[in-house]
Structure 1
Amino acid sequence: MNTLKNLRIMTYNLRNNCDVSPNSWAERKKLILELFLRESPDIIGTQECVYEQIQDMDEMLPDYDAIGLGRNGGSKGEYTAIYFKKQRFKVLEYDHFWLSDMPETIASSSWGNDVTRMVTWIRFLDMETNQQYYHLNTHLDHISENARKESANLIIKKIANFNPELLVLVTGDFNTGANTEPYKVLMEQGKLIDAWDTATGRINEGLGTFNNFNDPTGGIDRIDWILYRGDVKPGVIQIVNDQPQGQFPSDHFPVMMDLKIPMNRE
């Protein structure tokens, strides 16, 4: 019988640093750090951080490394950075692409996007299981349904170029609920699985994930997803609804999932 090792994945839109008190980044970052230290995710797909926040995150999380790029190139614009425990993971390759008709062109935009959108991806070696897998992290457009659908199509095309024998993980803020057209593209055409559907248990099942700094219910939709395809056993999934003294660490609640990864004995 294969030995299984736990892998804890989180997706978290951390909100950029444009807000004033009580939702300023200076006030929120300590709450985010407390959440990370308590939950100890192995990999975190983040959305929206700008370079100043990336610098803070790097300082706050010395046990993690990160891969990311500003969506407008270099340090400019928001990141879809992926954080990972550096003692557990080795980066074998990584890249970025833009959600447009010209995906290799930095800051390109198509399909009615309100702003530039992109994907960061990594192929990891998990040194605790000797398994390799891909992790893609994204943030789809908040205005255009067409842009979200075309972005989903592009993500599926990119995944098709990956080694089909390896586990694929996809995290992100998809800015739409389940069973919409972008969701159907990823599930039906991309053969991805929504971890929400296969989890052995759901914590805070009745919540949405966009709290807008003022809604403890998280709104009506679960717009932040963890998707996967490959040889894993799903565990418990949770919408983490921290609100210490009524303060929200971000305008989104993170979603966190435990997956069981088989050990590779080769």
Structure 2
Amino acid sequence: MNKIIKASLLFTSLGLAACSSSPTGRNQLILFSDQDMSSLGAKSFEQMKTDTPISKDAKTNAYVQCVANTITAYVPKQPNFSQWEVVVFDSDQVNAFALPGGKIGVYTGLLKVAVNQDQLATVIGHEVAHVLADHSNERLSQSQLANAGLQITDIALGASEYSQYRGLTMAALGVGVQYGVLLPYGRTQESEADVVGLELMSKAGFDPKQSIDLWKNMAKASGGSSPPELLSTHPSHSTRIQELANKIQTLPASSAKRPNCQI
């Protein structure tokens, strides 16, 4: 097949794939199916559970599970999985993530900065929002265009190249810092996850005003030699806090019962 025909087919397929919108109405480039992304997320999560120690502290696990379960109870039913899996990783990293396929990871180091259930709900809501907004798919799709030679399509479809390009794949899913590869979400995606995540945690009955305190805590934690991993690609503290404060003013009152997740 000559180059002109190949290019024509490529741009035709991209035009069809790009007809997608985020939860805030933003146009997105989406090249991969929900099934492909769920499979990739599950595979990556299993690898992380092998590579990173898992917390055995019953109270910590129950606490994180309580917050995550309360958040995900307000998430619309997803097409390719029926249950969210939550794992607490025993690590000093101030970080958390959520992967396609309903996989949520929280590092114990985050609990030193997100000091109550509402602040933890801010982070988990934000990470779940990345999944709901197909941000990993969007980022992996952008990587496919920029790195066509890496055959990322084959990785998403579960081909043998997965292990060879695991670092890039993990980065595209939002957990690349641990693997020495960083493919960051854009500012637009981060702001979108803030908005959707705040709506989600507020709907679940958590106090959205605590999101501001959470990011103030993050700002203090970043005063050392290196910032928390969670902040490595995010907007500035002052920008994020101001945007959250503006959004809080527009949130409707929640009818949900106040959660009672305690550690």
More strand by share: 1
* Structure 1 length-normalised TM: 0.29
* Structure 2 length-normalised TM: 0.29
More helix by share: 2
Q: Greater Rg, structure 1 or structure 2?
A: 2
